[in-house]
Amino acid sequence: MNFQSNFQLKEYNTFGISAQAKEFIAVSNTTELASVLKTNQDIFVLGGGSNMLLTQNIEKLVVHVNLKGIEIVNEDENFAWIKAQAGENWHEFVLWCIEHNFGGIENLSLIPGNVGTTPIQNIGAYGVEIKDTFDSCTAMKIDNQSIKSFDKATCKFGYRESVFKNELKNQYIITDVTFKLTKTNHKINTSYGAIDTELEKNNITNPTLKEISNAVISIRQSKLPNPKELGNSGSFFKNPIILKADYDKAKQNHPEMPHYVVSETEVKVPAGWLIEQAGFKGKRFGDAGIHKNQALVLVNYGNATGQEILAVSRNIQDTIFKKFGIQIQAEVNVI
Ligand code: EPU
C-alpha cells in the first residue's frame, strides 16, 4: 500500500474541482481496508467521487475504495444474484449485467459513480431506483473493522435516502453490493415517457435490455453533460417534497407548476423547473454555471472552485425560496 501526501483530487471528483488530500491511500481488498482502519479512523471515504462538491482541502486521510470484481453468487430458474465489489464502476457493471442478460438495472445506465455508493443515496432514474433490485450489501465498521451484512429493510431506502446517510452516517464503508436480477420475464419499465418516445423513434416495440439501455444513454446524453467533458455531479439538488397544502398555495401564483403525487398529503416538485423559472438555466458565473439542457445540474467550466459553485447553489436556493416559498436542498455532499 502506498500512502501519498498532499494528493491532488481533481481527477477523483467528477466536478473536476482542484483540492488536496492531506494523505491518500487506495485500497483494493478488505484486508488492506481493515489494516488502514486499524490505525486511522478519522478518515474521508472516497468512492467514485461523483456525488460531492469539494469546497476545501481535506485535512484527513482519504481512503479510496478500489475493490474490484463481479460474481454470480446464486441463481435459480428466474433470478440471478450478482455481487459487485464497491469499487466497480456503476455503468460498466450495468453493461456487464446486460451482456449476461440479467435485467433490472438497465434504466440506470450511464449514472456516474461506483457500485459501493449506489445504496447510500439509493440512486434512481427513469422510474427505477436501486432499491428495486437491491438484495444486500456488506459493509465494514470503521471503528472496529467488523463486517456486517445489510438487507433491504435495514437500509431504510427512501428517495435519494438510506440509513447510510442518516443514523449510520460515517460509520460504515460499503465493500460489496448484491443485486437480485431477472434471467427471464424481464420487467421492462418504459413508463417514464422519454424512454417510450426514444424507442418509438427507433421503431422498437419489444425492447431488449440493451435497447432500453441504449435509449436511456441517448436521453441522458442529450440532457446531461458528460463529466469527462464538463465537470458536474449530476442533479445538484433533490426534487423537493412539500405538503400538498403548500403546493396548492404556490400554484395559485404559478398555475403551471408541475408536480408528482408522493402521498395523500405530499407532492414532489421538479427542482429543474423551479430553477429554470427563476431564470438560472444556462447562466454562467465565472467558471461556475447551470447546465443549458438540465437546470438541476451545476457545472464547472474548468477552473471553478468548490466555493464558487457553492455560492451559485446558495443564490439559486435563496431566489427560489423568495419566488416560490419552496426550500430546495442539495443532493450532493458539500465537503
Ligand atoms: N424541468 C424543467 N427544466 C429543466 C429540467 C427539468 O422545467 O431544466 C422540469 C420538466 O417539467 C420535466 C421535469 O422537470 O418534465 C422533470 O425533469 P427530468 O425528467 O429531466 O427529471 P428531473 O426530476 O429533473 C430526476 C433525477 C435525475 C434523473 C431524472 C430521470 C433527481 C434529483 N434527479 O431529474 O437524476 O436522471 O429524474 O429519471 O431526482 C441525478 O440524480 O444525478 C440525476 C441526474
Which residue among 235, 239, 241, 324 has the greatest number of ligand 1 atoms within 8 angstroms of its CB, and so is best to mutate?
235
Amino acid at site 49: G
In a domain, 213, yes or no: no
Of 58, 56, 82, nearest to 4 by C-alpha is 58
Mean pLDDT value of segment 107-122: 95
* CATH code of residue 259: 3.90.78.10
Does 192 have pLDDT greater than 90? no
Q: Where does ligand 1 bind, in terms of residues with CB under 6 Å? A: 125-126, 224, 234-235, 238-239, 258, 270, 272-273, 276, 281, 294-296, 331
pLDDT at residue number 190 = 87
Domain count, the chain: 3
* CATH code of residue 16: 3.30.43.10
Active site (catalytic) residues: 160, 235, 331
Residues 57 and 99 in one domain: no
What mean pLDDT value characterizes the chain?
A: 96
Ligand 1 nearest-atom number relative to CA 237: 32
What's the CA-to-centroid distance between 221 and ligand 1, angstroms? 13
Name which residue sits closest to atom 40 of ligand 1, judged by CA.
Answer: 235
In a domain, 210, yes or no: no
Name which residue sits closest to atom 26 of ligand 1, judged by CA.
Answer: 125
Mean pLDDT value of segment 75-101: 97
C-alpha distance from residue 306 to each of 140, 231, 238, 288 (Å): 30, 11, 19, 9
pLDDT at residue number 113 = 92
Ligand 1 nearest-atom number relative to CA 239: 32
* CATH code of residue 78: 3.30.465.10
In a domain, 141, yes or no: yes
Residues 252 and 299 in one domain: yes
Question: What domain range is 147 assigned to?
Answer: 70-202
Residues 259 and 313 in one domain: yes
Residues 79 and 192 in one domain: yes
Rg (CA), the chain: 20
- Helix (H), strand (E) at residue 151: strand 147-151
Amino acid at site 107: N
What's the CA-to-centroid distance between 333 and ligand 1, angstroms? 19
Residues 116 and 189 in one domain: yes
Does 262 have pLDDT greater than 80? yes
Does 166 have pLDDT greater than 90? yes
Residues 55 and 78 in one domain: no
Look at residues 65, 81, 113 and tell me which one is the last residue of a structural domain.
Answer: 65
What's the CA-to-centroid distance between 217 and ligand 1, angstroms? 15
Amino acid at site 117: T
DSSP symbols for 196-215: HHHHHHTT-SS--HHHHHHH
Name the percent of the chain lying above pLDDT 90: 96
pLDDT at residue number 41 = 87
Mean pLDDT value of segment 302-317: 97
In a domain, 150, yes or no: yes
Name which residue sits closest to atom 10 of ligand 1, judged by CA.
Answer: 273
pLDDT 10s digits, 319-328: 999 999 999 9
Q: Give the whole-angstrom CA distance, residue 233 versus residue 252.
A: 33
Q: How many CA atoms lie within 13 A of 314 on its CB side?
A: 7
Does 104 have pLDDT greater than 80? yes
209-223 vs 90-99: helix axis angle to the nearest 10?
Answer: 150
Ligand 1 nearest-atom number relative to CA 233: 42
Q: Give the whole-angstrom CA distance, residue 175 versus residue 235.
A: 25
Mean pLDDT value of segment 278-291: 97
What's the CA-to-centroid distance between 76 and ligand 1, angstroms? 36
In a domain, 224, yes or no: no
